Amino acid sequence: MPPETTPQIFGVKIESAEKSTGRGQTILRGNMGQAKRKRDEFLKAHPTCIFCGGGAVATTEEHCPPRALFRDRAWPEGFVFPACAACNAGTSDHDLVVAFLAQLDPAADASKLARGEGLMRQVARQMPQVLHEMFTSSAVEARTNARRLGLRPEPGQTYQELGVVNVPEAAHIAVRILATKLTKAVYYQRTGSIFPVGGGIMFQWFTNAQKMEHGRIVLLEALSRIATMSEPLTRGGRDLKDQFDFLYSVEKEGALHMLQVTFGKVFGFVTIFSQTPGRLEAMEDQIKERTGSMDSPFEFLSTNRGMP
């Protein structure tokens, strides 16, 4: 049974963003007419929103994972999906939170640090509470966390300066939303079908702190025996695997799918999903029966349990 997700990320120390400039607007240049034509063609080929279960007319192109997660906004080729306005709107705050999380890499280079600081300024403007939750720990909490992760401060450094940050509730929500969308997106990409309303998605996510504490991601190890295939993710010759990598696998009968995703060296998630109503629920019941525990290591993002 995997241990509980450790609610910390071991991140770099990013200087606080007091001198916010309020700028950061970009101007879209280039041939707007051509861009519109390309979008119209895309929506003609993919007329239905893939995120709300079929039925809604797609009016927008959605990048999933969001472009904000990638350096220079260079997203992996082929990860653009048809979405209705309602599904595409309203996730920008969540996109920002996951983009910021993905920069919290203890081995970040200068460009990643600069990008992290830029995103941090944006989070500070739009969601100051999130930063407060992440970076505020008492000396006692900081010491307990550091000891659990086997970290020691250098002479003259405090435990609070070690770079262990709390995972705020906003991050749990944002990762859930990202996992739900990416699961449906990859399902569409691989099967050509829209994930149905009655389908189920089970989910668990993990951070680099969990790996430090336990020496490995227990969940990924448990899943590693299942056959998987990896796709190279490139755009314009640039290898994006250091930012976004995934393994997708399907059971022989095609009813059970699994997606394992990592974003850099910071966090990742696993979803197990099925288009067959009740399939995951039955699997979860088996797990509970076998382990004699009422607790499942997974959380349901989508289920039709209890629905008529």
State which residue, 86 or 139, has the beta carbon closest to Zn ion. 86
> Which residue in the block uniquely carries the two structure tokens 């309303």?
197
- 56 makes contact with Zn ion (CB under 5 A): yes
By the 10 Å C-beta count (0-12 exposed, 13-18 middle, 19+ buried), 252 is classed as exposed
| Dist. CA 201–CA 299, nearest whole Å | 8
Taking CA atoms, 16 is separated from 8, 133, 160, 224, in Å, by 19, 14, 14, 39
Options 5, 6, 51, 91; binder of Zn ion; rule CB under 5 A:
51
State which residue, 48 or 228, has the beta carbon closest to Zn ion. 48
Q: Give the closest residue to 247 by CA, choosing from 262, 267, 266, 225.
A: 262
Helix (H) or strand (E) run with residue 148 in it: helix 139-148
- 188 makes contact with Zn ion (CB under 5 A): no
State which residue, 144 or 189, has the beta carbon closest to Zn ion. 189
Options 49, 96, 170, 247; binder of Zn ion; rule CB under 5 A:
49
| Dist. CA 31–CA 49, nearest whole Å | 26
Neighbours of 95 (CB within 10 A): 20
State which residue, 48 or 303, has the beta carbon closest to Zn ion. 48
| Dist. CA 263–CA 270, nearest whole Å | 12
- 58 makes contact with Zn ion (CB under 5 A): no
Q: How many residues touch Zn ion (CB under 5 A)?
A: 6
Q: State in angstroms the smallest separation of the CB of 201 from Zn ion.
A: 16
Q: State in angstroms the smallest separation of the CB of 150 from Zn ion.
A: 45
- 52 makes contact with Zn ion (CB under 5 A): yes
| Ranges within 66-105 binding Zn ion (CB under 5 A) | 84, 87
| Ranges within 100-159 binding Zn ion (CB under 5 A) | none
State which residue, 195 or 206, has the beta carbon closest to Zn ion. 195
Going by their DSSP bridges, the two strands 60-63 and 80-83 should be labelled as antiparallel
Q: Contact region for Zn ion (CB under 5 A) — 56-64, 138-146, 205-213, 219-227?
A: 56-64
Residues that bind Zn ion (CB under 5 A): 49, 51-52, 56, 84, 87
